Amino acid sequence: MAIIETANLTYTYPGSTRSSLQDVTIEIKKGEFVVLTGPSGCGKTTLCRCFNGLVPHFYGGELQGDVTVTGLNVTQQAICDLAQHVGLVFQSPENQLFALSVEKDVAFGLENLGIPRDEIQKRVDWALRMTGITNIRERAPHELSGGQQQRVAIACVLAMQPDVMILDEPTSFLDPVGAQKIFDVISRLNKDLGITTILVEHRLDLAGKFANHVIVMDEGKVMLDGEPRGIFTSEDARLIGVGIPKATRLYQVLREKGVSLKRIPMNPEEAARSLREVLTLD
């Protein structure tokens, strides 16, 4: 079942002469883990803003075509209604944190929905635990490091337990182990709670293995849309400038030199396995 659908979606920001989205038609099914990628400035963030109504309600501009999210027509719903179904973690965490303590920031969305105090307490504790920031619950978000702020922003959205969670480069300030932990958390929420997840990411070496659906955009258009293995090895993806995982890239450069591995590897373990076959052949 489709949870997000767009049909011929075209959008232009106010004052801009060029459309940021051009004729975008996609379908995202309930429970999918989607990685949305493409060169910087290609329209990834703008598309995400259509999913929670920030486009067009907050940004204005001109929107043509249809966007439906959890059965709601985005152009006809208020942002606050959409917010109960769709959570967005912004690219820059500073843009969404404002309270004087981490705990208050995480509780804010729930308070606005009028959820009972006990339940808020429970969900805040849970969200802080899931993102590993229980120890900084009393600290002021603006005093934290970029990486810690990103965890707080994710906790804020998690606490809302949305149907769809959109994360716009949520780990860009985090060290690789920290990023891996966040991706593991996101993947677990996707699997265990069935939250449909849309991850905007350039670092496919870290994020690629979690995806079961990849969308590649360029200049406001959807260029590639499908399952990851096919997309990572397509010549098109490389030409658009998608940073395919190095394990997959090794497969490609070996093939150019006439060495074929049996399977297209998506991660180092798979690459090592295929290479072992070739190396121990003789």
Please identify, using beta-carbon distances, which residue of 119 and 236 lies nearer to other proteins.
236
The reply on whether position 88 binds other proteins by CB under 8 A is: no
Stretch that binds other proteins, among 26-34, 62-70, 122-130, 269-277 (CB under 8 A): 269-277
The reply on whether position 247 binds other proteins by CB under 8 A is: yes
Position among 134, 173, 221, 225 found at the interface with other proteins (CB under 8 A): 173
The reply on whether position 100 binds other proteins by CB under 8 A is: no
In single-letter form, the type of residue at position 267 comes to: N
Nearest to 131 by CA among 110, 109, 150: 150
Position among 62, 94, 184, 277 found at the interface with other proteins (CB under 8 A): 94
Q: How far apart are CA 48 and CA 88, in angstroms?
A: 8
* Tokens encoding 45: 């963030």
In the complex, minimum distance from the CB of residue 281 to other proteins, in angstroms, rounded to a whole number: 9
Q: Residue holding tokens 């989205």?
A: 21
In the complex, minimum distance from the CB of residue 5 to other proteins, in angstroms, rounded to a whole number: 25
Q: What is the dihedral of CA 89, 93, 96, 102, to 10 degrees?
A: 100
Stretch that binds other proteins, among 24-32, 47-55, 111-119, 176-184 (CB under 8 A): 176-184
Position among 99, 115, 185, 254 found at the interface with other proteins (CB under 8 A): 254
In the complex, minimum distance from the CB of residue 116 to other proteins, in angstroms, rounded to a whole number: 35
Q: How far apart are CA 128 and CA 14, in angstroms?
A: 38
Residues between 185 and 224 that touch other proteins (CB under 8 A)? 202-203, 205-206
Task: Express the helix, strand and coil content of the chain in percent, nearest 5 each.
Answer: 45, 20, 35
Q: What is the dihedral of CA 150, 154, 156, 159, to 10 degrees?
A: -160
Position among 1, 40, 118, 135 found at the interface with other proteins (CB under 8 A): 40
DSSP SS3 for 69: strand
Position among 6, 12, 22, 148 found at the interface with other proteins (CB under 8 A): 148
Q: How far apart are CA 133 and CA 111, in angstroms?
A: 20
Q: What is the DSSP letter of 110?
A: H
* Tokens encoding 108: 């804010």
The reply on whether position 182 binds other proteins by CB under 8 A is: no
Nearest to 96 by CA among 27, 35, 149, 57: 149
The reply on whether position 83 binds other proteins by CB under 8 A is: no
Enumerate binding residues for other proteins (CB under 8 A). 13, 15-16, 38-41, 45, 91-92, 94, 143, 145-148, 169, 172-180, 202-203, 205-206, 241-247, 249-250, 253-254, 257, 259, 267-269, 271-273, 275-276, 278-280, 282
